[in-house]
């Protein structure tokens, strides 16, 4: 009987010991899990959050965020002289992020409240801060394209004026800012973006410039024959003053919708010839013609 009691107590002892060992291992595993989770939380805390978490005062905000691109809700700012300068122009924000390699810092409500709001950050500000003194290359680019028409996508065209790009609002106005055989430059977007944006080009026309008007006083007797006046201009695009015409069978047709495609093809064929006064008077003007017909018949 005593042996049975001894055996029974021995079993109880072994079971109790196993329970203590199991609980100890469980607590140890729990501590390890907590330590791992703590490490994970530190890893998940990104640089942006660490940066913002270090800001406790306005002075710290000014020092840490100076010359950085920051966001709050859906607004984008550039921090300069301790002011939040709103960026409305996506071209400016793209230049800061892509060309200047600026990372975007998301502000907390507390930090946003510390910072005063300044003036908007414009393309002129970007130009003065980043491209005005960049190794003199912008100056040479500006001089190269000054008073020329440029594009980077064949959709939007600009006139470079005083080192600023001015958008053409009306496609037909482009021809008024180019010489008759002067090409339109195609620039890389990166180059075009270096030009600050100026006021759009708006042309106010006083009369219908598609029709030639020759003063009576300029009509002279004894003009050569039409055949002589036409010379080798048959099926060519010509111009007079600010109008463009297609000459065929020694007759002038006003091009009603002159466009860049005609300009390019004319350049390939030797350019657009400016008519003399005598040619403008002596060659009859008989009607109008569409650009698609001009392109098909030019040679």
Sequence ranges of the domains in the chain: 48-126, 133-192, 216-297
Q: What is the pLDDT of residue 33?
A: 47
Phi, psi of 23 (to 5 degrees): -65, -40
Class of domain 48-126: alpha beta
pLDDT score recorded for residue 78: 95
How would you list the strands of the sheet with 185-186, edge to edge?
164-167, 157-161, 149-151, 185-186
Instruction: List the one residue out of 216, 287, 215 whose CA is nearest residue 245.
Output: 287
pTM greater than 0.75 (yes/no): no
* Cα 222 from Cα 299, distance rounded (Å): 31
pLDDT at residue 47, as a whole number? 64
What pLDDT does 169 receive? Answer: 84
CA distance 56 to 64: 11
Note the pLDDT of residue 220.
46
115-146 burial: b if 16+ Cβ within 10 Å, else e? beebeebbbebbbeeebeeeeeebeebeeebe
User: For 287, phi and psi rounded to 5 degrees?
Assistant: 170, -160
Those residues with Cβ within 8 angstroms of residue 294's Cβ, 6 or more apart along the chain or in another chain: 237, 246, 255, 262
Q: What is the pLDDT of residue 135?
A: 42
For residues 83 and 117, is the Cβ–Cβ distance under 8 A? yes
Is the backbone of residue 32 left (phi > 0), alpha (psi -120 to 50) or beta?
A: alpha
CB 164 within 8 A of CB 129: no
| CA 180 from centre of chain | 28
Q: State the DSSP string of 58-90.
A: HHHHHHHHTT-EEEETTEEEEEETTEEEE---H
Q: Is residue 164 classed exposed, middle or buried when 0-12, 13-18 and 19+ CB atoms within 10 A define those classes?
A: middle
pLDDT tens-digit readout, 60-77 = 888 889 999 999 988 999
Question: Which residue ranges of the chain lie beneath pLDDT 50?
Answer: 1, 7, 21-22, 26-27, 29-46, 135-136, 206-221
Cα–Cα dist 105/82, whole Å: 15
């Amino acid at each position: 009987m005593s042996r049975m009691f001894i055996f029974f107590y021995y079993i109880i002892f072994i079971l109790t010991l196993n329970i203590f060992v199991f609980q100890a291992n469980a607590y140890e595993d729990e501590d390890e899990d907590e330590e791992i989770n703590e490490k994970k939380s530190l890893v998940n805390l990104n640089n942006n959050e660490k940066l913002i978490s270090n800001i406790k005062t306005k002075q710290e905000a000014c020092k840490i965020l100076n010359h950085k691109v920051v966001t709050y809700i859906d607004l984008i700012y550039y921090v300069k002289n301790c002011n939040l300068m709103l960026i409305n122009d996506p071209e400016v924000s793209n230049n800061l992020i892509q060309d200047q390699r600026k990372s975007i810092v998301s502000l907390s409500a507390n930090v946003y409240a510390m910072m005063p709001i300044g003036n908007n950050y414009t393309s002129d500000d970007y130009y003065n801060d980043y491209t005005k003194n960049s190794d003199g290359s912008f100056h040479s680019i500006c001089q190269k394209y000054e008073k020329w028409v440029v594009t980077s996508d064949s959709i939007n065209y600009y006139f470079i004026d005083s080192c600023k790009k001015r958008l053409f609002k009306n496609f037909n106005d482009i021809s008024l800012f180019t010489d008759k055989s002067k090409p339109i430059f195609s620039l890389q977007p990166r180059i075009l973006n270096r030009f600050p944006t100026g006021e759009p080009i708006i042309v106010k026309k006083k009369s219908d410039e598609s029709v030639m008007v020759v003063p009576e006083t300029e009509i002279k007797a004894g003009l050569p024959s039409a055949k002589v006046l036409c010379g080798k201009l048959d099926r060519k695009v010509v111009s007079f003053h600010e109008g463009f015409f297609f000459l065929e069978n020694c007759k002038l047709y006003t091009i009603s919708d002159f466009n860049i495609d005609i300009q390019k093809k004319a350049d390939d064929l030797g350019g657009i010839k400016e008519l003399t006064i005598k040619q403008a008077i002596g060659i009859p003007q008989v009607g109008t013609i569409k650009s698609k017909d001009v392109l098909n018949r030019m040679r």
